[in-house]
Chain A
Amino acid sequence: MDLSFSPEEEAFRQEVRAWIAQNMPPHLKAKAEQAAHFEMPEVMEWHKLLYAKGWVAPHWPKEFGGPGFSATQRFILGEEMELAGTPPLSPFGLVMVAPLIMRFGSDAQRQRFLPKILSGEEVWCQGYSEPNAGSDLASLRTMAVDAGDHFVVTGQKTWTTYAQYADWIFCLVRTSTEGKKQQGISFLLIDMKTPGVEVKPMQTLGDTPAFCDTFFDNAKVPKENLLGPLNGGWNLAKALLGHERTLVAAVGQTRRNLRLAKRLAAHHLGANGKPLLEDPHFRSKLARLEMRLRAHQMTNYRALAEQQKGHHPGPESSILKLVGSMLVQEADELCMELMGQSSLAWHDDEAVEPFERWVPPTFCYDRATTIYAGSNEIQKNIIAKLILGMPGA
């Protein structure tokens, strides 16, 4: 039993911290200081800096251009970036589709797509959900009709986050209506410039243009863009789910939120003009959150120790998603409460300090954390079935 990082790992942490301090551009640092929302061009600017350093894809195998990091190094790199508030990299290419291309793709597909995902030359988005296929993803209806050397794709994908910036979209499409609905699904890689593909952004509750609808109207997609076997897309989707869940433990994000909460508590005054940080009621609220975060962090370390031994994240990673997303929201809620009536400000630079300005929009947008990457109710279904062995209906 050893809960500490090794001296080599601590040295790596210092190296990462120093590199971020020296290489994060001042305008990004300024936004990080304000806990502001990063727009996609800023995200890609940071992506390219990390690419030049060789750190953009810490989980990729060396043969595809990864740095060959251990599970712990990957964890430390991620944690330090979250703590520094660097722009969160777009996961759609690096974390989601790339591992599937490595595992299920042909050599030609690997060579065509992976280098440009790594360099950031091509940006990806995800085409999974549809207006009538959310948690019940397998009921998706976007059709890909076989037309000889290509498919003709027609339908609508939604929540295609940042599709307006994307060069490519990976999609689950229906290629058969026979048998079980999971069996007629294929995994297609589609060029966003294909005629018939149209993107409509929509505002989120946080006033950011993150969400989009993406429409396909008889879009021609070459057959070489089919990833994995025809009608075998559901297995790829399931393989991806595991990657996605481990993304969202969000320990660093919550620690940053907590730091912000303490800063707010020092800034706002309570009874008798004393800072809320000295108010026993608010102090104990902050303490409770920090104490619970500690238990979550240890759970994350346990998962990390398993990964170090070469075990892939199993259904247990659903716990990290469940708890991490709830703690993110609780930290947001506490920040709003600490701000009192200042929490009513909406991009109002006169009424609030710059570091407070993004608290209300973030509070609103983060309602998505318990929904995306498999809603928390779906995570609970997974745990009930796969870990607790609960009977089916």
Chain B
Amino acid sequence: MSRTEPQGQAVVDASGTAGQHSIAVEGLAKSYGDLVAVKGVTFNVDAGETFGFLGPNGAGKSTTISMLCTLVDPTSGRATVAGFDVVTQRSSVRQHIGLVFQDTTLDDYLTAAENLKFHAELYGVPRASVARRLADVMEMVGLADRADSLVRTFSGGMKRRLEIARGLLHSPRVLFLDEPTVGLDPQTRSNIWEYVTELKRREGITLFLTTHYMDEAEYCDRIAIMDHGSIVAIDTPEALKASIGEDRVELHTADDTAAIAALADRFGIDASVSEGAVAFHVAAGEQFVPRLFAELGVGITSIRVARPTLDDVFMTYTGRTIRDAEASSGDRLRSSPFMRARRG
């Protein structure tokens, strides 16, 4: 699949030169013993781009992000982030990235401001600018009035926003967001995205995120779909959807098995049962519906025709829906000692 530049987005990197990669990855792989978590992925992310890793849990997203953040050493391959090698220039990479993990990493017994000050000291933010910068990022995530509250009094959404503020505190060039909205309610999720979009506009940084929410992938300039440790497709959301070129049709029928057989016999269509409906892809779905009613020969109780979504893209490239993929794989890859998850 061809790689296209993000649409409607000026690609200008930190030094003002266009087109330089903010993240460059070549053949990056990681195995834990016999278990191959990431099977040699290659991709580039341009400065200022919002780049998303999409895939089910266990696809290798977190392991890849851990390697880019210098938390896990690659088994082979190489990667640079903000121009620094993730193995040989670890400190420099860490200095130039912000991290927001899917599990909270705040100290509940400190206030929000104390958490941020702790971070500023560890990252060597110049003392003279700490107070100003702290007020700035707290303002950005809408927590300015809660700076002196203990973090333990915060809701899940507020904690996540505070983590995002902290990730930005030292003015990183790349902000990594590992499942930034997992476990949050839809309202909070959409708020988080508002903040992220706004601060990206203000800070002009590269965003690298992982998600298994299809709708969130739409916020990205480009998406890499990951499955079983490999990147199976990489492009803009629009291009990915267009590449399928077919609409998704979902049928509820009197007899699903008969319907699937009939679809194969009469139309040569390969359908499958997904989430309780007979689903298949077909070009020009609306025009296909009258033929279906006339020729299927199995009672149809309801029908739905939809433009391709990223879920369809995922299904096309991996042969299953992301939810099915979730169900079949656990958290087997999160084995690093520092990565131990505490899922809410």
Real binding pair: no
